[in-house]
Amino acid sequence: MTKEIAKKIAELLNDRGFVIDEDIKELPVRYTKFPEWVKENETLIRDEGYHGGSLQTWTTRFDGPGCAYGIVDADNTPDQSYIEKFCK
């Protein structure tokens, strides 16, 4: 993970409490591999400014184009319907 990607992830987590794989176009992993990849890089994400709680994997099936995979701040998890608004 580059510092630039870690910074984007940190900003999204701080701002809205979650990040999904669709948020960042230049990722080396997608879909089901994204949440674990983020968790593996938690130290770098915190070094780049994330100050929330522990990271928890998140996935949902919704009435849209398919599944979304991501990470949420376990101490401040947004409502699922709010997260789904950001899914493409």
Q: What is the pLDDT of residues 35-60, one digit of tens each?
A: 888 999 999 999 999 999 999 888 77
- Domain ranges in the chain are 3-84
| 15 Rama sector, left if φ>0, alpha if ψ -120 to 50, beta otherwise | alpha
- Distance between CA atoms of residues 88 and 83, nearest Å: 11
Rounded mean pLDDT, 70-77: 85
Q: Which residue has the higher pLDDT, 27 or 50?
A: 50
pTM score of the predicted model: 0.84
- Distance between CA atoms of residues 8 and 11, nearest Å: 5
Spatial contact of 7 and 15, defined as CB atoms under 8 Å apart: no
Structure token digits, residue 84: 């789904």
